[in-house]
């Protein structure tokens, strides 16, 4: 089965079908390397002169997935709004300030405020939850749920407070996890029923540049059980679970894999050694492997970008099996020369097809 060429009239290479992507993720074979920037590329945020070249590029090389955001609940509510993470009046730390402030240690919510949040928020029956779902076109469909239980904690509390909370407020931390996972589970079921999704994704930035934020023991106590619960439920619906985590999560990877996570993004270069990760875990999990945005893509030459693209494919793609979807390692910014991004996408498709013996226009 191939995608309908009439839907991709300018494609030099047709996108993978839903069935081909599922086979790739399972390691059961693939025509070529999967390539999908998904939510890491927001064309409308690029410089105006770069938007049309990127649009033209993606017509030539359509993405191998339909990745879209679940309608995000607000962090702070308006009156009567139940699709929010916090409905306590006056809790928003930016109220009354001229400049937007982040949720940091100075402006984080107190636990007494968090404990006043209404039960069953966000409202998982919000009617327009899947308003961003695109029309089905034969590709794999991935719904992005945004912040996971760890990231949701420091959205509320700030990073330093959150790390201390693991020791001083364990019951409250578990309550936040419970709220997040209950919402995710209902959203997953609705995604199958209303948007015919194939996978769910969430971000939980567990890693710093040189190691995880917490020990494996703390991860097992606070987050592993909720990952297991979510993965088991998603798998019962026939869904894959995709996890984004910046930084070095090498010490947590055995438990991440054991929890049931199917795909990991991005394997951050200069934080983890990609060859060691692929050699150690490549048969246990698939990778949404991201090309580097700290050094290579913004500051490398076109040929250096092409060389790095081939290197990542050689490291993560298992010939004849798959296990790799290629992407950016985070949200693309305007510091990336457009010719470098074009070189990355072209090389990812062409080299990723050539190593499996596929010719263009097939």
Q: Which pairing describes strands 211-212 and 207-208: parallel, antiparallel, or unpaired?
A: antiparallel
Domain 11-354, classified CATH 3.20.20.210, yes or no: yes
Report the chain (362 residues): mean pLDDT per 10 consecutive residues.
Answer: 83 95 96 94 91 96 97 88 93 74 73 93 96 96 95 92 96 97 98 98 95 96 98 98 96 98 95 95 96 94 97 94 94 93 97 79 50
Q: What is the pLDDT of residue 102?
A: 63
Q: What is the pLDDT of residue 101?
A: 62
Q: What is the pLDDT of residue 103?
A: 62
Q: What is the pLDDT of residue 116?
A: 94
CB 115 within 8 A of CB 91: no
Tokens of 347: 């090389």
Residue ranges per structural domain of the chain: 11-354
Q: What is the pLDDT of residue 98?
A: 65
- What DSSP character marks residue 263? E
CB neighbourhood size of 33 (10 A): 30
- d(C-alpha 23, C-alpha 15), whole Å: 14
- d(C-alpha 194, C-alpha 192), whole Å: 6
Q: Which residue has the tokens 């962090």?
A: 75
Q: Which residue has the tokens 């993405």?
A: 63
In sequence order, which residues have a C-beta less than 8 Å from that of residue 177 and are 6 or more positions away? 149, 153, 222, 223, 226
CB 202 within 8 A of CB 244: yes
Q: What is the pLDDT of residue 42?
A: 93
Q: What is the pLDDT of residue 333?
A: 87
Q: Which residue has the tokens 């050094």?
A: 295
């Amino acid at each position: 089965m191939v995608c309908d060429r009439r839907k991709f009239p300018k494609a030099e290479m047709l996108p993978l079908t839903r069935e081909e992507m599922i086979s790739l993720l399972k390691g059961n074979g693939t025509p070529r390397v999967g390539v999908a920037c998904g939510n890491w590329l927001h064309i409308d945020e690029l410089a105006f002169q770069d938007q049309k070249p990127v649009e033209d590029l993606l017509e030539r090389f359509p993405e191998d997935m339909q990745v879209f955001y679940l309608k995000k609940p607000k962090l702070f509510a308006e009156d009567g709004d139940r699709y929010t993470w916090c409905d306590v009046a006056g809790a928003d730390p930016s109220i009354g300030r001229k400049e937007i402030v982040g949720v940091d240690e100075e402006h984080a919510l107190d636990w007494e405020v968090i404990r006043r949040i209404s039960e069953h928020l966000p409202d998982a029956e919000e009617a327009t939850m899947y308003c961003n779902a695109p029309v089905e076109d034969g590709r794999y469909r991935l719904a992005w749920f945004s912040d996971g239980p760890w990231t949701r904690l420091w959205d509320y509390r700030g990073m330093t407070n959150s790390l201390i909370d693991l020791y001083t407020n364990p019951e409250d931390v578990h309550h936040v996890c419970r709220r997040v996972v209950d919402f995710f589970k209902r959203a997953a079921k609705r995604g199958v029923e209303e948007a015919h999704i194939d996978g769910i994704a969430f971000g939980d930035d567990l890693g710093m540049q040189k190691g995880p934020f917490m020990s494996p023991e703390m991860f097992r106590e606070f987050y592993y059980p909720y990952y297991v619960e979510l993965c088991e439920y998603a798998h019962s619906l026939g869904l894959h679970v995709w996890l984004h985590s910046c930084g070095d999560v090498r010490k947590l990877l055995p438990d991440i894999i054991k929890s049931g996570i199917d795909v990991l993004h991005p394997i951050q270069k200069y934080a983890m050694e990609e060859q060691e990760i692929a050699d150690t875990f490549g048969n246990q999990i698939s990778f949404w492997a991201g090309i580097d945005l700290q050094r290579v893509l913004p500051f490398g030459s076109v040929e250096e970008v092409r060389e790095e693209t081939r290197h990542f494919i050689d490291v993560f793609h298992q010939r004849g099996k798959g296990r790799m979807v290629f992407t950016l390692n985070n949200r693309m910014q305007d510091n990336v020369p457009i010719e470098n991004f074009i070189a990355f996408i072209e090389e990812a498709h062409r080299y990723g097809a050539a190593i499996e013996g596929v010719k263009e226009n097939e």
